[in-house]
Amino acid sequence: SLFNEDCKELYITYSKSYKQVRLLFCYQSECSFVPVNQYWRTGANRHTIINTNSELIFSDNILPSVEYSLYTIPGKDKWKVVINSENGYFGIVQPDESNDLFSFEAFPTNLNESVEQLTIDFVSDSIGSSVRLRWDVTEVLMPFK
Protein backbone atom coordinates (compact mmCIF):
# COMPACT_ATOMS: atom_id res chain seq x y z
CA SER A 1 0.00 0.00 0.00
CA LEU A 2 1.22 3.52 -0.76
CA PHE A 3 -0.06 6.85 0.53
CA ASN A 4 1.32 10.02 -1.07
CA GLU A 5 0.21 13.49 -0.05
CA ASP A 6 2.22 16.71 -0.29
CA CYS A 7 5.39 14.72 -1.13
CA LYS A 8 4.96 12.59 2.01
CA GLU A 9 5.11 8.91 1.19
CA LEU A 10 3.99 6.13 3.49
CA TYR A 11 4.35 2.48 2.52
CA ILE A 12 2.78 -0.44 4.35
CA THR A 13 4.10 -3.88 3.42
CA TYR A 14 2.19 -6.84 4.82
CA SER A 15 1.33 -10.44 4.09
CA LYS A 16 -2.35 -10.92 3.33
CA SER A 17 -4.22 -13.59 5.22
CA TYR A 18 -7.58 -15.09 4.34
CA LYS A 19 -10.28 -15.57 6.94
CA GLN A 20 -11.53 -18.88 5.53
CA VAL A 21 -13.54 -20.57 8.31
CA ARG A 22 -11.32 -19.36 11.16
CA LEU A 23 -12.50 -17.30 14.11
CA LEU A 24 -10.74 -13.94 14.22
CA PHE A 25 -10.18 -11.51 17.10
CA CYS A 26 -11.42 -13.82 19.82
CA TYR A 27 -10.22 -15.16 23.14
CA GLN A 28 -7.57 -17.85 22.85
CA SER A 29 -9.72 -20.67 24.22
CA GLU A 30 -12.24 -20.18 21.41
CA CYS A 31 -9.91 -18.82 18.76
CA SER A 32 -8.21 -20.49 15.85
CA PHE A 33 -6.49 -17.31 14.64
CA VAL A 34 -5.59 -13.84 16.00
CA PRO A 35 -6.54 -13.98 19.69
CA VAL A 36 -7.38 -10.75 21.51
CA ASN A 37 -5.08 -9.18 24.10
CA GLN A 38 -1.98 -10.71 22.49
CA TYR A 39 0.64 -9.34 20.10
CA TRP A 40 -0.18 -9.93 16.46
CA ARG A 41 2.27 -9.34 13.63
CA THR A 42 -0.69 -7.82 11.78
CA GLY A 43 -0.43 -10.12 8.82
CA ALA A 44 0.66 -13.59 7.81
CA ASN A 45 4.21 -14.91 7.59
CA ARG A 46 6.34 -11.77 7.89
CA HIS A 47 5.36 -8.98 10.25
CA THR A 48 3.97 -5.72 8.87
CA ILE A 49 6.46 -3.02 7.81
CA ILE A 50 5.75 0.71 7.83
CA ASN A 51 8.13 2.95 5.87
CA THR A 52 7.96 6.71 5.40
CA ASN A 53 10.12 9.33 3.69
CA SER A 54 9.07 12.08 6.11
CA GLU A 55 8.13 12.57 9.72
CA LEU A 56 4.58 11.52 10.58
CA ILE A 57 2.53 11.93 13.73
CA PHE A 58 0.38 9.13 15.13
CA SER A 59 -1.63 10.13 18.20
CA ASP A 60 0.88 12.82 19.29
CA ASN A 61 3.80 10.41 18.72
CA ILE A 62 6.40 11.39 16.14
CA LEU A 63 7.48 8.70 13.68
CA PRO A 64 10.77 9.75 12.06
CA SER A 65 11.36 8.86 8.41
CA VAL A 66 12.74 5.33 8.09
CA GLU A 67 11.44 1.73 8.27
CA TYR A 68 9.68 0.21 11.30
CA SER A 69 7.53 -2.75 12.29
CA LEU A 70 3.85 -2.32 13.04
CA TYR A 71 2.26 -4.71 15.52
CA THR A 72 -1.18 -4.67 17.02
CA ILE A 73 -2.78 -6.08 20.13
CA PRO A 74 -6.45 -6.53 19.20
CA GLY A 75 -9.01 -5.98 21.92
CA LYS A 76 -12.76 -6.10 22.06
CA ASP A 77 -13.26 -2.34 22.48
CA LYS A 78 -9.81 -0.97 21.62
CA TRP A 79 -6.60 -2.05 19.96
CA LYS A 80 -3.07 -1.18 20.93
CA VAL A 81 -0.92 -0.27 17.93
CA VAL A 82 2.83 -0.68 18.50
CA ILE A 83 5.61 0.81 16.38
CA ASN A 84 8.86 -1.11 16.88
CA SER A 85 12.30 -0.26 15.50
CA GLU A 86 13.23 -3.86 14.61
CA ASN A 87 12.29 -4.81 11.07
CA GLY A 88 14.15 -7.95 10.05
CA TYR A 89 11.87 -10.61 11.48
CA PHE A 90 10.01 -13.37 9.72
CA GLY A 91 7.15 -15.03 11.52
CA ILE A 92 7.80 -13.48 14.94
CA VAL A 93 4.68 -12.93 16.97
CA GLN A 94 6.02 -10.60 19.65
CA PRO A 95 9.00 -8.27 19.19
CA ASP A 96 11.48 -7.19 21.82
CA GLU A 97 9.50 -4.54 23.71
CA SER A 98 12.68 -2.60 24.50
CA ASN A 99 12.69 -1.65 20.80
CA ASP A 100 9.17 -0.16 20.89
CA LEU A 101 9.23 3.47 19.78
CA PHE A 102 5.70 4.15 20.94
CA SER A 103 2.20 2.75 21.05
CA PHE A 104 -1.25 4.26 20.77
CA GLU A 105 -4.86 3.19 20.93
CA ALA A 106 -7.18 2.60 17.98
CA PHE A 107 -10.84 1.73 18.19
CA PRO A 108 -12.45 -1.03 16.12
CA THR A 109 -15.79 -0.64 14.42
CA ASN A 110 -18.04 -3.28 12.90
CA LEU A 111 -18.46 -3.56 9.16
CA ASN A 112 -21.77 -4.49 7.54
CA GLU A 113 -20.11 -7.04 5.26
CA SER A 114 -17.28 -9.46 5.91
CA VAL A 115 -13.90 -8.83 4.27
CA GLU A 116 -12.36 -12.23 3.44
CA GLN A 117 -8.77 -11.08 2.90
CA LEU A 118 -6.87 -8.89 5.35
CA THR A 119 -6.68 -5.45 3.76
CA ILE A 120 -4.54 -2.52 4.87
CA ASP A 121 -4.93 0.68 2.90
CA PHE A 122 -5.31 4.43 3.39
CA VAL A 123 -8.31 6.72 3.67
CA SER A 124 -8.52 10.50 3.75
CA ASP A 125 -11.37 12.85 4.55
CA SER A 126 -11.84 16.42 5.74
CA ILE A 127 -10.51 15.48 9.20
CA GLY A 128 -7.27 13.88 7.97
CA SER A 129 -5.67 10.63 6.85
CA SER A 130 -5.62 7.16 8.39
CA VAL A 131 -4.09 3.77 7.89
CA ARG A 132 -7.15 1.50 7.62
CA LEU A 133 -7.17 -2.19 8.51
CA ARG A 134 -10.18 -4.30 7.51
CA TRP A 135 -10.72 -8.00 8.03
CA ASP A 136 -13.80 -10.08 8.59
CA VAL A 137 -16.32 -7.62 10.07
CA THR A 138 -13.71 -5.45 11.82
CA GLU A 139 -12.29 -2.09 10.73
CA VAL A 140 -9.59 -0.18 12.61
CA LEU A 141 -8.44 3.34 11.68
CA MET A 142 -5.00 4.64 12.70
CA PRO A 143 -5.05 8.41 12.06
CA PHE A 144 -1.83 10.25 11.20
CA LYS A 145 -0.64 13.70 10.16
The two beta strands, 79-84 and 100-106, are antiparallel
Residue 130, SS3 per DSSP: strand
Q: What is the CA radius of gyration of the chain?
A: 15
Query: Rounded to an integer, what is the distance from CA 45 to the centroid of its chain?
Result: 14
Could you tell me the pLDDT band of residue 1, with boundaries at 50, 70 and 90?
Answer: low
Q: What is the pTM of this model?
A: 0.85
Greatest mean pLDDT range, 32-36, 71-75, 88-92, 93-97:
71-75
Rounded to 5 degrees, φ, ψ at 51 are: -135, 130
3-state helix, strand, coil in the chain (%, to 5): 5, 55, 40
In which order are the strands placed within the sheet that holds 100-106?
Answer: 2-5, 8-13, 48-52, 67-73, 79-84, 100-106
